[in-house]
Amino acid sequence: MNLGLKNKVIIVTGGSKGIGAGIVTLLAEEGAIPVIVGRNQENILKVIGEYRQKGYNVGYTFAELTQPEQCEQAVHSVIKEYGRINGLVNNAGVNDGIGLEHGSYEGFMNSIKQNLAHYYKMAQLALPELKKNKGAIVNIGSKTALTGQGGTSGYAAANGGRNSLTREWAVELLPYAIRVNCVVVAECFTPLYEKWIDTFEKPKEKLSSITNKIPLEKRMTTVAEIANTVAFLLSEKSSHTTGQLIHVDGGYTHLDRAINNEL
């Protein structure tokens, strides 16, 4: 796409698989220097090897993102190696199924740590570098907080927090020309999504019932389509876009109700 991201150092949390991996791949293709931050050392080293075989400059550092001190070590490691941070993609998280009736306070708080707290911590740690470079932050969110799914209190609260923090940070960081946006994901067939689908008695039927409700082309959003939007928001091509919750979902979040009401 030639988005002008060449040599831009961009941290991507959870960047070794799923949506994160799609983002890292596209950024590498654009000539950026994506840096994967995550805890799965074996998987990260495997994908780093694959990227380097293709000649891509992709960095990495290990961190358990629920541990603030490890987040700090990771960001310091990136600055030490590359001397700058131009962008941050907060992506890591998991729908852990912590509900209200059968959940627990401890489980709920752990879900917040896994899915929201590190968004704040990583942004705070990267902020001095982002201020120097007029960088950009892209948070990855989920439609769970917008349309509701039973039994996901922790994940829903975290995603609601991601949306709110996106707007809050966009306002707070206006004086530094740092843009903050959120890409809200609905139905995208990642390994985690497949794992969730497999929990149903009839996975194929469940998947079909979902895709049939996606207005545009009756199909799931691809990882590449999400990555394209993220890369655009990180680039100067979106130089006057901030504080936005952008739904890359084929109209699933908003259009399905309008269409159904018309039928």
Options 51, 155, 193, 252, the catalytic residue: 155
Q: Which residues touch 234 (CB under 8 Å, ≥6 apart)?
A: 3, 5, 8, 10, 27, 87, 89, 136, 138
155: annotated active-site residue: yes
CA 105 – CA 198 distance, rounded (Å): 27
Residue 26, Cβ density class (10 Å: 0-12 exposed, 13-18 middle, ≥19 buried) = buried
DSSP 200-234: SSSHHHHHHHHHTT-TTTTSPBPHHHHHHHHHHHH
CA 237 to each of CA 206, 228, 230: distance values in angstroms, whole numbers, following the listed order = 39, 12, 12
Q: Which residues form the catalytic set?
A: 155
